[in-house]
Structure formats: structure tokens, C-alpha cells
Structure 1
Amino acid sequence: MTDLPFDPIQLMREHPEKMHIPGGLLTKQGPQDYVGGVPAITGTLFFNDAHTAEVREAICACFDEYEVIAKAHLTWLWRAEPPEGPDKFVYEKAPSMRAMIKRMNENDLVSFTYVSGKQPHDAGDWEFQVFGRRGWEAKMIVRGTSALRFTMPLLHVEKNPAAFQAMFVSFAKRLKALHGYGGQGLVLSAPRESDNQPFEAYLANMLNGLDVGEPVGATRSAHLGIKTVSWLTAVNHKMIEKIGGLSAIRSELPMDWFALYDYGAGLVVQAGPKPEGAPADQPKPARLVLPNMLFKEVRAPKVSLHYASKEGEPRLIGWGAEQWLQRFDVPEDEVQAYKARLLDEPKLTKATTLPDRL
């Protein structure tokens, strides 16, 4: 099931904008006539209290900001378990998010996924997804957190080298994020996610820098720690204190390669000038290994990535999921060598960082 008519790594390197993955690839039924996934730069933030008016307004404000650049590209809105109305809208005909949220009570699920595919089940590289737990769940804490994910096309980020960082930090500030991450990822078909996870698992074995798993599953353990480090990694003040404070971050992550941004409830760490795919057949990038080792202490012990395999198709579950979480781990006695290797990696530039870095 892993014989593909193209080399995904070569396509990602040379023509990522052409990599529209057929739906259902690597499943028993074979490729289907829709777009199952597209590569993009994705940012995910975990936060609490999505049942409150204050945080719901913050969610709306995040979408307002996203719409400024994405409005022309959005095509459909999907909702899970809406308290009223359909679960799917043509984007242009949908009520505003703020109007729909105002009609919800605290125990209604906050679930909005704005997509940019031609057909409603097509994946697109502009997407805004928010999952906010119902009030009764949020108050239990052990049920998990809420999450927001937004994406931008690879070429948009390449042409606007600080745009993604600016939005990620802005959203983290609005949501008072617990933690989060941003970098290379796949946007999967919103209503057919399970059928497209096998290809994501396949590609993840080739690209260590690729985010894996949908945000909703990750919320179940987000109260226990971070899921991963990436090009951008957000950590709250409690986590920073646990790993030794700001001085430890500055000591371990030199400012020529790492930028720090204050988002109020914590810090965002930018590792290098652009997102890193980190091909598995090449040495691990020091700019991902070093923050991984620094924040390893505040990593969640287990994270849900994929649904269970139905017919033997590849999925990142169980041992495979554990290995993915540990993909940037190295023995402690090798950390110094990675610090030396960092000297040969791309440095940050004024164009690739925000002006208000610490």
C-alpha cells in the first residue's frame, strides 16, 4: 500500500504547491477523486475556557485577523454538532462566527472549520479550525483543553517571511495560550480526516519536521504538557519556570538562531528563519534538537495522534506515536555536539523575525 506514483519528498522540495494528495491514498479503497491533503504551514495553540464569553470573543477576534488575509480563499464552513442550523455552509452565505457564537450557551460545542477546497470535502492550504470544549467538560480539566489551528500556504509564507510568526504570536496573546507549535504540516480533508491519516503517517516517517495528528485528539493530553517542538514553539510561564527560567532558554538557545517573543502568558520560540521539514534521511537539525531537549521535561507523556488502523493501513498509534514524540531526542552527551552543529545552520535575519523580539 506504500507504492506511490510520485516521490513525495522530491515533490515537497521542488514543487510543494503542486502536491495535492488524492483522497484515501494508502487505504484499502485506494485513491479517490478529491483532494485528501495539501502541505501548508500550520499553527496550533491550546487554551482553556472556550465556554466563556471572554475567550469566545478572543476566538472571534482571531478569525477576524485571519479573514483579513484569507477571506478571498475560503470556500466552505464545517461545524460539528451545531446547536442549530446545518453542519455545512458555503462560506459566503454563512452567518458570521460572532453571530453564531452569540446564540450558543456555555455547554454548546464551539466547533468551526473554515476550509478553502473547491468541493466541501477537498483539503485546501488556507484553513482555520477551532475546537472549544463545552462548559461542563472544560470545568473538569482532566477532559483536556481547547485548540485553535490556522494554516497558510507554503508560498505565502515564503513571500511574507514574518507573517506567520506575527499571527501565531497574536493568537497566542489573545487566547492566553497554554502552549502550541507551528511549522510544516498537512491539511487533511475536514470531513474525511480518518481516510487521509495513512498518508500523513507515511510522510511523517520521511519528514521529522512535519506536524502529525489533528488538534482535537491532542487536546486530551494538552493539560499535561506540550505535544512537540517545531519552527515555532509556545510555552507558558509555568513551563518556563520548570525548565530553569528565561536564563536557561537564553543559555541553551543562542539568539543568532532563536528568537523569543513575549505573548503575555508565556513565550514563543522561533527556531531558525523558516520552517524545517527535517528529512529523516539527513542529520537532525540542531535548531529542532536543542529546543526539544530543553523542553523535554514539560512534554506530555502521551499524545493521541491518529485513529486506530482499520485494515492494516499505516497510522501513528501506540509505539509509533511514542516514537514520533521522541523523534528529536538525543543522548544527553550528544547535546554539545548539536550546539557545535548549530554554527553551520541558517541564522535568523531581520526579514525573518518580528521587530519586538526579546
Structure 2
Amino acid sequence: MTDLPFDPVKLMREHPEKMRIPGGLFYPHGPDDYIGAVPALSGVLFFHGGHELAVREAICACFDEYEAVAKAHLTWLWRAEPPVGPNKIAYPKAKPMRELMKQLSANHMVSFAYTSGKQSVDAGDWEFQVYGLQGWRAKMGDWGTSALRFAIPLLSLDDHPTLFQSMFVSFARRLHALHGYGGHALVLSAARSNENEAFEAYLGGMLNGLDAGDLIQAAADAEKGIKTVSWLTAVNYTMVKQLGGLDVLRSELPRDWFALYDYGDGLVVQAGPAPEGAPVESDGKPARLVLPNALFKPLRAPEVGMHTGSVNGEPRFAGWAAQHWLKRLDVEEEELMAYKNKLLGEPKLTPATTLPERL
């Protein structure tokens, strides 16, 4: 994790307050008195059927698994347009997800955001957020997909080097994921994400390995293709076939650096033993991100919604900037051999950093 411009593990242990980014930094009224963003490990999965009972049960099962680890850290539950009860409730007072899910008809949006900040508007590095497309929109066929995002602290990787991978593969299996990715990210305030997107764009311009963008906007474009590659990248078997099959992946992604995991409907690729921050000023294009990016480039969506437009001239990933972000790891085809040679000097996988069920 030393590829970041700071050592997050050391900072978390010695100065955790420095990892809490004040809200609204790029606004005239900022910084505000709440935590707007927190670095974390985050996994995102896109899937169909958020209005169906079986899929809603799968969402609950994912949260069961997450809650077993995160329960002591969760503090608030936010919901958008709940049919019963408030949109915000303290987590200890909230009914179990399954009970709340039963209140939703097929035409209600599934919307749960479990957060871990002290104040209800604070961002925290434990978060479980799910967005399920309403039945009527799903039937129309042009509203995109449902999506799930979960986050755990950076420090978790140091103490439990396969916890994140295990959750990601398990959730992909339960949800029959279309595709997804996981690695470094910022968890933004669930209640005030819009006014913290600017800092995400700012930091995302410095770190090519950092995810960025709104979950619901990304879900709207998820049927068009994948958004990005990351430390973990999930692709369904139809996509694998488009690339030439499993043998092509094994040939292009050497097993000393890349692990493949079957999740039932597709594969998860793990690139290296730990996620890459990929700071632009030093090594913004590590081989273990560039090579899968080149391989999966034919699967990439032509455009993906990320941020809303700038209000006060603050940075945002919108329009051209969003398109540029999608291409941030691209290299010319004639450069790929140099990156294959570069890979030889990058950290290899170890038994301690991979799941035992790798292919």
C-alpha cells in the first residue's frame, strides 16, 4: 500500500483524524463541520432484478454477511422515499433489513445506506449502500441496472488480507452480478454526496487507482459495459466469451500476479496482492492495472455517468473529464510489451493474499 502519496495504515494508526476530510471543501461555504469523505476499500457490483423477491433476499443475505463484520461500527441508516417511517434512523433503532424490505412493493425503489459516521451526515469507512431499480422501470428496459456498494477500512487489508476479496466474490455470486470492481475509493457523505464530489474529482485526478463517481449514475449505464478495472474486476461469462474465453484471460494475466475466482455467473480478477493507488506523479500506470485494462477495454461502456456538473467552477468528473477518467489507464498497443516486462518487477500474489478457491 506504499504506492499512495501517504502510508494509509500508518496514518490510520497514528493520526486517524487526518483521514477524515471536511465536507464541502471546494465550496464557498466550506469547509463545513462534518466529515465529507473518508478513504476506504470499496466494492461495487451491478446486477438485475432489484425489484424481485429472490434478488431482494440475496441483497439481505449480502448485508447479513457484511453486518457480521461491521455491526459494531454502523451508526445510521438512510433510505430514499421509504413507504413507511423516516428516511434517517439511528442504526441501533432500525428494524432488520428484511423487515424493512418487506414494506416495499415491486414498484418501490430499494434504497438502503448504512453508514458509520458519528453525525448522521458524516462519511465513515464502513458503509453498505444498495440501490434497486423499481419494477416498472426495469420492465421499460432503458433505466440501467441495480447496484450495491460496500466499504471497509483501509486498515482491514493489513489485518485481514483476504476479507475484502471474500466479500466481493460472495456478493457477486449471490447477486448474479453482471460486472463490477473493487479497490481504493472515497466514501462520501451519504446525505451530502453532491457537495463532496469535487474533492473526489480532485483526488481522483491525482490517483489513477481511486474509484470515483455516483453509484446510481453508474448503474444507469451499466448495461452498456464495464465502467473500469481495479484491484478486483468482475466480468460475466458472456463478457469472458467476448474476449476469447478463459484461456485468453489466463494467457494475458499471468497467475503469479493475477488470481481468477469463479462466482457462478462470471469471473473476478484480482490484480496483485493489494490495491493500487497509482499516483499520477510517480507511477500512474502500474502494469497490474494497465494489462487488465487493455484486455477488458472492448467491454468498456462508451460513456458512464459519474458526477453532476460544476456549480462554482469546482472540479467534477462530468462531460469530457468523465470520458478522460474512463481512459486514464489506456496505452498504445505497441506499448503493451513494455508493460508486460514492467509487470515482472511488481509485487506478486502470495497464499496469504489470495483466496484458496482461485482457479
Same fold (TM over 0.5): yes
Runs of 4+ in 1 over 3 A off after TM superposition: 8-14
Listed one character per residue, the Cα deviations across residues 100-125 of structure 1 (whole Å, up to 9, x for unaligned) are 11121100010000000000000000
- Pairwise mapping of residues 10-25 of structure 1 onto structure 2 (< 5 A)? 10=6, 12=8, 15-16=11-12, 17=16, 18-25=18-25
Change over 3 Å in CA distance of 1:11–1:272 after alignment to 2: closer
Task: Give the match for residue 61 of structure 1.
Answer: 61
Task: Give the match for residue 132 of structure 1.
Answer: 132
Q: State the secondary structure of the residue aligned to 2:73.
A: coil
Task: Give the match for residue 341 of structure 1.
Answer: 342
Query: What amino acid maps onto 1:164 in structure 2?
Result: F
Q: State the secondary structure of the residue aligned to 1:10.
A: coil
In structure 2, C-alpha distance between the alignment counterparts of 1:87 and 1:61, rounded to whole Å: 22
- Equivalent residues of 2:8, 2:154 under 8 A apart: no
Query: What amino acid maps onto 1:203 in structure 2?
Result: L
In structure 1, C-alpha distance between the alignment counterparts of 2:95 and 2:339, rounded to whole Å: 51
In structure 2, C-alpha distance between the alignment counterparts of 1:301 and 1:13, rounded to whole Å: 36
- Equivalent residues of 1:130, 1:148 under 8 A apart: yes
Task: Give the match for residue 291 of structure 2.
Answer: 290
Q: State the secondary structure of the residue aligned to 1:269.
A: strand
- Pairwise mapping of residues 1-12 of structure 1 onto structure 2 (< 5 A)? 9-10=5-6, 12=8
- Pairwise mapping of residues 148-227 of structure 1 onto structure 2 (< 5 A)? 148-227=148-227
Task: Give the match for residue 97 of structure 1.
Answer: 97
Deviation for aligned residue 1:9: 3.6
Query: What amino acid maps onto 2:258 in structure 1?
Result: F
Q: State the secondary structure of the residue aligned to 2:169.
A: helix
TM normalised by structure 2 equals 0.96
Q: State the secondary structure of the residue aligned to 2:62.
A: helix
Q: Tell me the matched-pair count.
A: 351
- Pairwise mapping of residues 252-267 of structure 1 onto structure 2 (< 5 A)? 252-267=252-267
Task: Give the match for residue 50 of structure 2.
Answer: 50
Task: Give the match for residue 324 of structure 1.
Answer: 325
Task: Give the match for residue 350 of structure 1.
Answer: 351
Query: What amino acid maps onto 2:19 in structure 1?
Result: M
> For structure 1, which runs of at least 5 residues remain unmatched after alignment?
1-7
Query: What amino acid maps onto 1:301 in structure 2?
Result: P
Deviation for aligned residue 1:141: 2.4
- Equivalent residues of 1:9, 1:206 under 8 A apart: no
Q: State the secondary structure of the residue aligned to 2:140.
A: coil
In structure 2, C-alpha distance between the alignment counterparts of 1:130 and 1:93, rounded to whole Å: 20
- Equivalent residues of 2:9, 2:158 under 8 A apart: no
Deviation for aligned residue 1:11: 6.6
In structure 2, C-alpha distance between the alignment counterparts of 1:185 and 1:194, rounded to whole Å: 16
- Equivalent residues of 1:236, 1:266 under 8 A apart: yes
- Equivalent residues of 2:24, 2:31 under 8 A apart: yes
In structure 2, C-alpha distance between the alignment counterparts of 1:10 and 1:70, rounded to whole Å: 26
Change over 3 Å in CA distance of 1:10–1:162 after alignment to 2: closer
Task: Give the match for residue 279 of structure 1.
Answer: 279
| Aligned sequence identity (%) | 63
- Equivalent residues of 1:11, 1:19 under 8 A apart: no
Q: State the secondary structure of the residue aligned to 1:72.
A: helix
Q: State the secondary structure of the residue aligned to 2:63.
A: helix
> For structure 2, which runs of at least 5 residues remain unmatched after alignment?
none
Q: Greater shift after overlay, 11-20 or 288-297?
A: 11-20
In structure 2, C-alpha distance between the alignment counterparts of 1:249 and 1:48, rounded to whole Å: 25
Task: Give the match for residue 307 of structure 2.
Answer: 306
Q: State the secondary structure of the residue aligned to 2:280.
A: coil
TM normalised by structure 1 equals 0.96
- Equivalent residues of 1:28, 1:313 under 8 A apart: no
Change over 3 Å in CA distance of 1:72–1:197 after alignment to 2: same
Q: State the secondary structure of the residue aligned to 1:282.
A: helix
Q: State the secondary structure of the residue aligned to 2:6.
A: helix
Deviation for aligned residue 1:140: 2.1
Q: State the secondary structure of the residue aligned to 2:77.
A: strand
Query: What amino acid maps onto 2:330 in structure 1?
Result: D
